Structure 1
Amino acid sequence: MQIEDVRGQTMGGDSTRRTVNRIVRHHSATETGDVWTFEQYWQSKGWETGGYHEIILRDGTIQRCYDWDVVTNGVKGYNATSYHICLVGRGSFTDEQERVFQKRIETWLNEFQLGVQDVIGHRELAAGTTQCPGIDMDVVRARINDGSGDPSLIQRGDRGKDVEQLQRTLISKGYDLPQYGADGVFGSETEQAVKSLQQDAGITVDGIVGPETRRAMDREMTLPTGIYRKGSRGQAVQHIQRALERIGFSPGPVDGIYGPKTEAAIKQFQKEHVPNEVDGTYGPNTRSAMASALA
């Protein structure tokens, strides 16, 4: 974990306490931001001290804003004994954020001698008057209760049926694993395939499979990267053929064989969408145009 310690640089922090009896999860309700941008809002509210002890940025970086014994302004009426952690996001968080949150919770539950039931969402304390923290806290507490971390996270070093299923899904979506295939071992090859999918989906590229990556994988049309042309074969070609069918350019049988009919369908698509590249080859420009047509 990368920790940016900004304690002593943030506003206020003069009121202290001796006890913490709950950890409160928040979201920022913004797509971006950090403690410095959030301070502008806090100052506009007339607060002397900010709202969060820690902020977990989109890339998983932790900003340590205040010592644990500082009283911050997270939830009115509950701040005297609450430790506040905020994830930057509007109800949707990166897999790296969830992984880091899990680790931080483990640390603080041990430090404060608390139980899973003491991890609370802002909304639960505010009687439903806010959408914060933008996630079902029963799900969050279930992850913590698992004891080994978030069961929905799959990452390098993991093994088993879940990894094998992940690998099969990656292959079916055109992210080839030529060296090891679906062997049930999450190694460097699988990690790179996951990163390629994340990059193509426009989400955080961290190689970790969590809720955000699963949503990207569940989309029906995740187009393969790479270059494919007449004579190419495999799951990636099959996925290209399905995409062509979806946007109204029949490639013939969806059989994973880049034959004359698939080549002709690509050329026809290119004539309409990539007129400067009518060569029958599926490459980056054609992929980008097809992705736009599928959106």
Structure 2
Amino acid sequence: MNFRKLEQLVDVRASITGHKTKQFPVVGIERKEDIALHHSLTKMHLSGSNAEGYANYHVYTLGWPGIGYHFVIEENGTIKWCNNLDLRTYHVGNFNNQAIGICLSGDFRIEQPTDAQKQSLRHLVEALKIDLPNYKRTLGHNDYPGYARKQCPVFDWKSVLASKSIAPITLENSTHVIKKGDTLWEIAAGNHITVAKLLSLNPNLDPYHLRIGQTIQLAAGKNREVIGHATVLVPFLNRRAEASFNSKITGAIRKGQQLEVYGIKNGLYDIGSLGWISAGTKYTRFEPTISELPNGILRRGDRGEGVKQLQRALNTVNFHVGEEDGIFGRKTKDGVSRFQSVYLPNEIDGIYGPNTKRELERRLLE
């Protein structure tokens, strides 16, 4: 999917508020022919004028299964991905089956979208027009039959989409270094995010004991390499603060949610700012992102990116070697030997070479 490559995209599907029992029906992405544009009718500077605030209102006040939009574009250009594209969410009545809903934060009766929002809207619509197999049109909420009375989305979105799109933006101030006198509230307010969001992006942060010189995340990191995607197979799966089954439970992820995985440690997947989840095959289905395996020979004592690629591949095919630290030590040699004992029984030497590479590639593609 092209939209997943956008640098300003943040996947909040697993963390955003959802109803405990209700779910949006699956209608299939092939039925999605429209992109429907909305504004939130909430002023940008208000604390709840974001995807999380809209989700809370839709679930707790309206009783909906979840947030009604597929995407929310916030003031600084962040694109929050809130729902799978194949779901019938609630945002344009009788046309929900066929429409992908995009909401821009703001009350555009009295204010205008920011340049960052406009640019993100162009990028997102351009990507979705490619990703939706039966795409036909983009409309404002009030363009749909029966909704002409709606003051939504109000702004001149046609001119925005007609403008020449420039290279995808990278959010400014993706990190902040703690200075003397800083408080989480001041950091959040100065970067147009909530304290709750700051804490979700920094699960190990102690809000009462900030350390001068400490670096915290202001946006979901895009510089980390995704090694694959994990789909939750059970009704609810606990999220943990650290790579340990004994660590604090910070929340849960619902069945069917797909998450980007950045690594594996102690039998848990690293899912970025959301923390860690079990890597057990009973709980999650893992689909690796196939990356090039190193050439040549690797043995105990070697170090570097090639060793890290080997460790990642072994972890992916369940010959676990622990942390992917780029050091070919005892655990990595043991992992290679165990793999060879299954797939190269006549070549069990714990040394990575062309034959081991060939068999690893085959297992990764299964």
TM-score, normalised to structure 1, is: 0.46
**Per residue, is there more strand in 1 or in 2?**
2
**Per residue, is there more helix in 1 or in 2?**
1
TM-score, normalised to structure 2, is: 0.37
